[in-house]
Amino acid sequence: MELSNIIDKAIYFTSEYSIKIVAALLIFFVGKWSVKKLTALAKKLMEKAKVDQTLVEFSESLIYFGLLLMVILASLNALGVNTTSFIAVLGAASLAVGLALQGSLANIGAAVLIIIFRPFKVGDFIDAGGATGTVEDINLFSTIISPVDNRTIIVPNSSIIGGNITNFSQKPQRRLDLTFGIGYDDDLKLAKQILMEILEAEERILQEPAPFVAVSELADSSVNFITRAWVETADYWDVRFAMIEQVKLTFDEKGISIPYPQLDIHSKSN
């Protein structure tokens, strides 16, 4: 009798729970497939509506994990698990995990602030969190920055929000400031004229606001000129390098020296 009872119970539980297990697995896999499709559809609609790429990627992650959590809860419910108590346990566990992962939660909060206030977006060239480069991605925990030498720097979002952020791409134009020194024995007026001619000859320099050249300092071993000119943001570095090279070549051609730091020692005989 005992063996037959065991067999009957085994058959009962198999027939009872096999259906639930199959239903739970079916809900999970079909639900997961649907979540991917819905997330892709939401991303496509946002991109079609020309929503900012940073917001698109952030919303994509949020939608995917939110819908996937609903699918998991539905699967557990089909399996016969009391999801109400499970949600309570999940809430308590989330609190404990949250206390243990305060740094990660700070990064998520910082990501929300970046999305809302938009100090920068994907594709901008920034200096933030100790890294300088182009923003490649902004996720829940970090911002991925690629410097000009094509490295990949992963910066925690909290480090970015907690410090200064310099966005070099936000404005369409930038001012180029350069300082050049000449010797005290060189022709000051000629040097100033040469610098202005170089600025006016550079086609990528904007004429409005007008370029500016002036003596900025009588230094220890040089007379320093400050040059200021406005350029398109995309041309900034190319114009900067071209200006420095052209000034050196022209000064050499015109016989104007660019002094290096030096120390004159005078001896006094008794």
Assigned CATH for 120-167: 2.30.30.60
Please compute Rg for the chain using Cα positions.
Answer: 33
The answer for 50, left when phi > 0, alpha when psi is -120 to 50, beta otherwise, is left
**Amino acid at the residue 116:** I
Per-residue model confidence (pLDDT) at position 214? 95
**Positive or negative, the Cα torsion across 159, 160, 165, 167?**
positive
> Which one is predicted more confidently, 270 or 76?
76
Cα separations in angstroms, 251 against 169, 181, 214, 219: 33, 11, 17, 19
Against a cut of 0.85, is the pTM above it? no
pLDDT for 195 equals 95
Sign of torsion, CA 36 41 43 44? Answer: positive
Share of residues in the chain with pLDDT > 90 (%):
38
pLDDT at 1 over 50: no
The residue extents of the domains of the chain are 2-100, 120-167, 173-254
Question: Class of 2-100 per CATH?
Answer: mainly alpha
C-alpha distances in Å from residue 239, one per residue of 68, 131, 245 = 51, 23, 10
CATH 3.30.70.100 fits 173-254, yes or no: yes
Task: Give CA 71 to chain center in angstroms.
Answer: 32
